[in-house]
Structure 1
Amino acid sequence: MRFASLGSGSEGNALLVEASNGASTTRILLDCGFSMREVERRLTARAVDVGSLDAIVITHEHADHIGSALSLARKYRIPLIMSWGTGQAVKVHATLKAEDDAALVRWCRADERLAVGDIELRPYTVPHDAREPLQFVFSDGARRLGVLTDAGCATAHLVAALGGCDALVLECNHDRDMLANSKYPPSLKARIGGAYGHLANDSAAEILGAIDRMKLQRVICAHLSEQNNTPELAMAAMSAVIGTQATEILVATQAGGFDWLTC
């Protein structure tokens, strides 16, 4: 199994996950927070044809995650997977009016595993200010990729869900001091730093320290605020937890995400 980011941050998020068994290849796009043209361009840069996607999975309804997902699904006939709450928030069936378009939608629920080709997905709940947000763990049967972005704080449930992963994409949205001293209005600071907002570096480090890391080979710091964080601060927070453990630490960027990595 391998994965690549098309971009990660408040201006758009999309993560490509791929598994091959020799006879077939399964490709899933987790979130689609860019315009259709930009998604097409960024997929082409990863040598992936949009029409080869087996599913688009949406974590929640915020624009930097759902973006052009409905339009892309309709154009290329790609199945959409999301929670019922997310679908209600974006009025998915009002947008996909035609019966054959509506048939593209597949609902998922927390802790109910589902399969797309050779990839198994485990959705799990997170604290975030959306209708029914879910994050996901991907598995090809041999390796596990955990993804956690857009969560305000650690919970025992998400810590358990992310245990035993081989690779982890982990939100490191902001440094608390940088956010406090930023020019953001108080209401926005409170939202971002709240229990249903985004993970600060120290909160992400708390989660990393709490999960089972026995198999963990890579941690990718994701969804960094370009105003309220730096790659150096995020990586330092992760390094403080990992110490001498042989785990690679990387950063996903808004402009280019990151290139293909293997689990």
Structure 2
Amino acid sequence: MIRVASLGSGSRGNATVIECGATRLLIDCGFNLKTIEARAAEAAFDLSSLTAILVTHEHSDHIGGVSKLARRYKLPIYTTVGTWHAKPQTEVPQLNFLCSHSPVQIEEVCVYPVAVPHDAREPVQFVFEYDGLRFGVLTDLGSISAHVAEVVSDLDGLLIEFNHCVERLRTGSYPASLKRRVGGEFGHLNNAQALDFVQQLDHQRLQLLVAGHISEQNNCSEVVAEMLAPLSSTIDRIQIASQRQGFDWLEIAHPA
């Protein structure tokens, strides 16, 4: 069984937990130490039970709280060389560099980094494999490259960003330069891009779909939920991740 939970998902901070057997991995920590500890306590989650922190890229809503959290709980960090040198952190207990095209074994879990098109130094997302189950995390990318489509496949569960509505972004209050960045091929997935990718996945295998990293200014969770509603006939569980609360534990397992 794989379990996944979120302590927050969006442009003001991200933190996702993947549990595989006794191994618990935190993907990103974009919250300060006080906030992440408060959110963990609210969710009845023990941060000291973590095995390691994986960092996707250097933007503050993903890396902002990583070093302090690692020091407080003596956690190893896994990230790419580009990410680390783009925004060097203060001293950490243990630093492990990932190759963006090579899997790494972390205790019971095989972690597949996925190089993605995003406006960062060496950004990656991840696919986690444990006991024959595969869970993917796919946020912060402006387009679905052939490489992403190849690696992020044959999934039992997926957390994917439905970042923005194209029309809301176009007519919204962002400066023109930021609109171009968010909507560009190295920015963030819009609703249509994310939905198109999900529709191409094997729904006979996909048990769980989580829509995350939803923009509070340029999107709406109700719109995303409405878009995903027709998929409920082929995907067992569909969940929306919020900025404030993330989502509680969800699990994927082999069919009985």
Q: TM-score range by the shorter chain?
A: over 0.9
TM-score (norm 1): 0.91
CA contact (8 A) 2:155 2:205 kept: yes
Structure 2, unaligned stretches of length 5 or more? none
Instruction: Tell me which moved more, 203-212 or 113-122.
Output: 203-212
Matched residue SS, 1:61 = coil
Structure 1, unaligned stretches of length 5 or more? none
TM-score (norm 2): 0.94
Quote the residue 1:89 is aligned against: 86
- After superposition, what is the alpha-carbon deviation per residue over 1:190-231, rounded to whole angstroms, capped at 9, x for unaligned? 110000001000010121123333310111110000111111
- After superposition, what is the alpha-carbon deviation per residue over 1:125-180, rounded to whole angstroms, capped at 9, x for unaligned? 11000000000001212211111000001111111112111111010000001111
Which residue among 66, 72, 75 is the counterpart of 1:75?
Answer: 72
Return the alpha-carbon distance in structure 2 between the equivalents of residues 168 and 181 of structure 1. Answer: 30
Asked whether 1:254 is paired with 2:223, we answer no
Q: Which amino acid in the other structure matches residue 55 of structure 1?
A: A
Within a 5 Å distance, the mapping from 1:237-248 to structure 2 comes to: 237-239=227-229, 242=231, 244-248=233-237
Asked whether 1:117 is paired with 2:118, we answer no
Instruction: Tell me which moved more, 42-51 or 159-168.
Output: 42-51
Return the alpha-carbon distance in structure 2 between the equivalents of residues 114 and 44 of structure 1. Answer: 30
Quote the residue 1:225 is aligned against: 215
Matched residue SS, 2:233 = coil
Return the alpha-carbon distance in structure 2 between the equivalents of residues 70 and 8 of structure 1. Answer: 19
- After superposition, what is the alpha-carbon deviation per residue over 1:15-53, rounded to whole angstroms, capped at 9, x for unaligned? 011122xxxx11110000101111112222333322221
Q: CA deviation at 1:243?
A: 6.5
Q: 1:244 to 1:48 in 2, by over 3 A?
A: closer
Quote the residue 1:3 is aligned against: 4
Instruction: Give the CA RMSD over aligned residues.
Output: 1.4
Q: Name segments (4+ residues, structure 1) moved above 4 Å.
A: none
Equivalenced residue count is 251
Q: Which amino acid in the other structure matches residue 144 of structure 2?
A: A
Return the alpha-carbon distance in structure 2 between the equivalents of residues 216 and 19 of structure 1. Answer: 18
Quote the residue 1:203 is aligned against: 193
Percent identity of equivalent pairs: 41
CA contact (8 A) 1:163 1:213 kept: no
Which residue among 15, 26, 29 is the counterpart of 1:29?
Answer: 26
Return the alpha-carbon distance in structure 2 between the equivalents of residues 58 and 34 of structure 1. Answer: 13
Quote the residue 1:178 is aligned against: 168
CA contact (8 A) 1:164 1:213 kept: no
